Structure 1
Amino acid sequence: SLNCPVTDCVLTNNRHHLDSMTDYDALVFHIAEPWAYSLFEKVPTLRTPSQIYVAANMESPAHTKHLLEGDANFFNWTMTYRLDSDVVWNYNNVVELDAADDRAFVGPSQRPQWRRGAENYRNETLEELARRKDKMAAQFVSHCETFSGRDELVKAIQRLMPVDVYGKCGTMECPRGSPRCARMLTDEYRFYFAFENSLCRDYVTEKLYNAMESHIIPVVFGGVDYSKFVPPHSVIDVQQFGTVEELVDYLKFLADNPEEYVKYFWWKEHYRITGSQPFCELCRKLHDIGTREKSQHYRDIKAWWFDGACQARAKIEF
């Protein structure tokens, strides 16, 4: 059970749950992987006028192997991490701290209404924690040689300050997600490098939100307007710096000034991180008669997904 506010939906991956594929209100197609001919044999040849076909994907266009070349007028809705999707399927949401409903989120959104509060924020307990931290930055990464060039960026930063790289692409080990690693990040490290593998519009993965749940500042690298995803002055965006030298100088400034460092945690007194429930939103939309009546067919979903979605290179020089 997803504990959705709209409860009369059945979500299944069993094709034989109903007698006919035309009996389903919606079919969700995972478009990250290429569709083999054997799969097309299973795609229904009949579809009712009211049936919704949904294109779902959590991978970036750079990692989408299905080229969508023969899918004109096939899909009605999109269900991806992009904020202009019909159903937004993101990793996490930011909600008001005292919100009774996790679905009453502030961001991500095209135009989020964030509070302000970093400028005058003080927290002596966190300042003391910042003084005890004795390591600069950590990164957990398992995919090397990425489209974004994040490995080269980290190497350029490492020439100017220490960065400990954990996982398959580094020399250090700690099971990501374990309580021991979470404590280590909070107690020892000042910064967490949440660098994406692709510089694509709205492409933000769990790395960012995992860091935000600890008392460590996320340093982010992506093709994203982060103001749509997280509160102001909660992350450090690499792309806002002209050079690696400028970035490292700022990180060192924060390391030397705990009272400035802790201002990046001001938002924790107003917001919290929650999981997202995209299938609940899909259920709600399926019950919204107005939405169903406005359903379209994507004439060129290939162009919608691929054209202009990703940056060829980073703005920062390295």
Structure 2
Amino acid sequence: MPWALPLRWSPWGRPGVKALVTAGVFVTTLWNMRFFLNPSKGSGEELKHREPLVILVWEWPSKQVPSVSRDVCRELYSITGCQLTTERQLLHQADVVVFPHSSLQPGRDKLPKEKLPGQNWVWVSLESPSNTRALAAWNKTFNWVMTYRQDSDIFIPYGKLVPNRSATVNIPAKTSLVSWVISNYHRTQKRAEVYKNLSRYLHVNIYGKANNKPLCKDCLLSTISKSKFYLAFENSIHRDYITEKLWRNSLLAGTVPVVLGPPRANYEQFVPADSFIHVNDFGSLEELATFLKTMNSSRYRQFFAWQRRFSVKLYADWRERICAICTAYPHLHQGRLYPDLKSWFNS
């Protein structure tokens, strides 16, 4: 610092004590002023953002748009320092912009013309790769991804088990063996093939649009709960793709899930190994059918042992999912860009 050199020595060539004190005060003053001139930096790690964080949802992910106030994250989930908005005119104020994949169809004409400096864009999808089209058009567009995949920047599962010390097991009364709720039935799907072969050996009570037996929202769980087992068959098989068919229709309803989806080891990353039955556990569907039909009550109760330690938490409100960005933000890689979104999602 050249400006400090004359202050270190008096005109007589000896250290000037008064000058040294004055220099010290001057340097200290400048050091303190830096916090006011540039408040985003401190003596330690640089802060990632100054509150509040503004998140703009470009289009709401579901058809039903709930009431969304700017302080909804604080009001509903006690998450502070974060504001949520769906008002596109506030794009220039947004730190994060959220784009559900459904809003990206058919192309870029519905997106902002350009990304503002320092702004991060988030790609959101709860669908599997098999049901997600036109991803190749979005290379080098999004900074972060928000999906059911555990390796997402923002992980949003369909549900999870949370600790619960109730130490009680609640098994609803049973009047049937197996049930299945299915709306989109396609013969080319793996689950259609498995059901067709399994139904040769046991009867399955089918509900939903595919069988012209739709269930009202309030009677869904009460109807399913009367069955001992539920076919939690996913519409496609991909890593971590474990949907409400397991969390809501099976575990929350109080029935044992018979799952068709990713390998057993993947399911066990989410739920205890003794809480479900995997189709792949058996050499044939006839063996599976025999296992279900001949199970005694003692063995059946063992599938509910998880209830002594856990309860089911469903993620059904998109406001809670979007607010998850607030808590994840300080740990996210700033400026990251996905060069090939399709390759990542299909990996």
Question: What residue in structure 1 maps to residue 136 of structure 2?
Answer: 69
Question: What residue in structure 1 maps to residue 288 of structure 2?
Answer: 247
Q: How does 1:36-51 map to 2 (within 5 A)?
A: 36-37=106-107, 40-51=108-119
TM-score scaled by length of structure 2:
0.70
Structure 1 residues 93 and 27, CA gap change in structure 2 (3 angstroms): same
Which of 229, 235, 239 is equivalent to 1:191? 229
Question: What residue in structure 1 maps to residue 79 of structure 2?
Answer: 6
Secondary structure at 1:190's aligned position in 2?
A: strand
Tell me if the contact between 2:153 and 2:332 (Cα under 8 Å) persists in the aligned partners: no
Larger radius of gyration: 2
| Residue 86 in structure 1 maps to residue 86 in structure 2 | no
| Residue 95 in structure 1 maps to residue 165 in structure 2 | no
In 1, the alpha carbon distance for the partners of 2:99 and 2:77 equals 21
Tell me if the contact between 1:22 and 1:46 (Cα under 8 Å) persists in the aligned partners: no
Question: What residue in structure 2 maps to residue 118 of structure 1?
Answer: none
Cα root mean square deviation, aligned: 2.5
Which of 82, 101, 126 is equivalent to 1:31? 101
Deviation at residue 208 of structure 1 after TM alignment: 1.0
Question: What residue in structure 2 maps to residue 270 of structure 1?
Answer: 309
In 2, the alpha carbon distance for the partners of 1:84 and 1:147 equals 29
In 2, the alpha carbon distance for the partners of 1:299 and 1:36 equals 20
Which consecutive segments of 4 or more residues in structure 1 shift more than 4 A? none
TM-score scaled by length of structure 1:
0.76
Q: How does 1:137-286 map to 2 (within 5 A)?
A: 137-145=178-186, 148-170=189-211, 173=213, 175-179=215-219, 181-186=220-225, 188-210=226-248, 211-224=250-263, 225-254=266-295, 257-276=296-315, 277-286=320-329
Secondary structure at 1:10's aligned position in 2?
A: strand
In 2, the alpha carbon distance for the partners of 1:13 and 1:146 equals 39
Structure 1 residues 268 and 147, CA gap change in structure 2 (3 angstroms): farther
Q: Which has the higher helix share?
A: 2
Cα deviation 1:89-138 (Å, max 9, x = unaligned) = 22112110159xxxxxxxxxxxxxxxxxxxxx997x85xx6xx6342100
Tell me, which stretches of 5 or more residues in structure 2 are unaligned? 1-71
Larger relative contact order (C-alpha < 8 A, sep ≥ 6)? 1
In 2, the alpha carbon distance for the partners of 1:147 and 1:281 equals 36
Question: What residue in structure 1 maps to residue 92 of structure 2?
Answer: 22
Q: Give the counterpart letter for 1:298 in structure 2.
A: Y
Figure out how many residues of one structure are paired with residues of the other and give that number. 267
Tell me if the contact between 1:80 and 1:90 (Cα under 8 Å) persists in the aligned partners: yes
Structure 1 residues 178 and 280, CA gap change in structure 2 (3 angstroms): same
